[in-house]
Amino acid sequence: MLRGVKKIVKGQKTQDGAGVHLVRVISRPDVVDFDPFLMLDAFDSYNPEDYIKGFPWHPHRGIETVTYLIQGDIEHGDSLGNKGSILDGGCQWMTAGGGILHQEMPQACEHMLGVQLWLNLPAKDKMTRPQYRDIVSDNVPKVVKDGSTVGVISGEYDGISGAVHGDYVKMTFLDVELEKNIEFDLVTNSEDNLFIYTIYGSGLVNENTVDAKSGVLFEAGDHFKLTALEDGLRFLLFAGKPIKEPIAWGGPIVMNTREELNQAFQDLEDGNFIRKDVIL
Ligand code: FE
Tell me the pLDDT tens digit for each residue of 197-244: 999 999 999 889 999 999 999 999 999 999 999 999 999 999 999 999
Ligand 1 centre distance from Cα of residue 31 (Å):
19
User: Residues near 76 by Cβ (< 8 Å), separated by ≥ 6?
Assistant: 82, 83, 84, 85, 86, 92, 102, 103, 104, 105
The whole-number pLDDT of residue 81 equals: 87
Distances in Å between the alpha carbon of 204 and those of 6, 43, 216, 226, 227? 14, 24, 12, 6, 5
Backbone angles phi, psi at 123, to 5 degrees: -50, -45
DSSP 28: G
Q: How many CB atoms lie within 10 A of CB 221?
A: 16
Distances in Å between the alpha carbon of 92 and those of 68, 72, 115, 164, 226? 7, 13, 11, 10, 28
Q: What is the percent of the chain where pLDDT is above 90?
A: 94
Q: SS3 of 259, please?
A: helix
Task: Using the predicted structure, report yes or no on whether residue 10 has a pLDDT greater than 50.
Answer: yes
pLDDT band at 96 (very low <50, low <70, confident <90, very high): very high
Ligand 1 centre distance from Cα of residue 254 (Å):
12
Exposure pattern of 190-212 as b/e (b: 16+ CB <10 Å)? Answer: eebbbbbbbbbbbbbbeeeebeb
Domain that holds residue 172: 5-279
pLDDT band at 269 (very low <50, low <70, confident <90, very high): very high
Ligand 1 centre distance from Cα of residue 195 (Å):
22
pLDDT band at 277 (very low <50, low <70, confident <90, very high): low
Which residue blocks in 84-227 are alpha helix, DSSP H?
none
Ligand 1 centre distance from Cα of residue 105 (Å):
10
Ligand 1 centre distance from Cα of residue 103 (Å):
6
pLDDT digits (tens, 9 = 90+) for 46-88: 999 999 999 999 999 999 999 999 999 999 999 888 899 999 9
Q: Indicate the number of domains in the chain.
A: 1
Which residue blocks in the chain are alpha helix, DSSP H?
31-34, 258-270, 276-279
Task: Using the predicted structure, report yes or no on whether residue 192 has a pLDDT greater than 90.
Answer: yes
Using DSSP bridges, classify how beta strands 223-240 and 193-205 pair: parallel, antiparallel or unpaired.
Answer: antiparallel
pLDDT band at 280 (very low <50, low <70, confident <90, very high): very low
Ligand 1 centre distance from Cα of residue 121 (Å):
15
Distances in Å between the alpha carbon of 59 and those of 92, 139, 154, 216? 16, 28, 25, 29
- CB-CB contact of 43 with 213 (8 Å): no
Ligand 1 centre distance from Cα of residue 212 (Å):
26
Ligand 1 centre distance from Cα of residue 88 (Å):
19
What CATH number did the domain enclosing 220 receive? Answer: 2.60.120.10
Mean pLDDT, the chain, as a whole number?
Answer: 95
Ligand 1 centre distance from Cα of residue 104 (Å):
6
Residues of the chain by 3-state class (helix, strand, coil), percent to 5:
10, 55, 35
The whole-number pLDDT of residue 84 equals: 93
The whole-number pLDDT of residue 151 equals: 98
